[in-house]
Amino acid sequence: WNLEQATPLMAGLAVAAAAYAGKYGIQAWQAFKARPPRMRRFYEGGFQATMTRREAALILGVRERTPTDKIKEAHRRVMVANHPDAGGSHYLASKINEAKDILLGKTKGGGSAF
């Protein structure tokens, strides 16, 4: 074999490898698109008339019996993501604050400004 004979062979192998990679890439993409939707990890809303401890915990993404420091951390994390100055709504901010107050025992519920 000399270099002139090996070059077309190598080019043909490269084209075949690219074709196989493309075929399997397309199959993987179609399988990815066809997968079932994943469960969402955030509270989907639909607020109750009077907020309960359960609803407050769902809003902040914690358990009802979470320690105070973890409640404050969760409140800060959720508030940063939904603050009115960052494009969030005043209503959501009031519900997030109400959830924190309920879990910290500062109110009995129904304390939203709206």
Q: What is the pLDDT of residues 17-56, one digit of tens each?
A: 999 999 999 999 888 888 776 655 555 657 888 889 999 9
Task: Check residue 114 and report its DSSP letter.
Answer: -
pTM above 0.75, yes or no: no
Q: What is the pLDDT of residues 59-100, one digit of tens each?
A: 999 999 999 999 999 999 999 998 999 888 999 999 999 999
- 5 pLDDT band, cuts 50/70/90, is confident
Q: Which two tokens stand for residue 72?
A: 């404050």
H or E stretch covering 28: helix 3-34
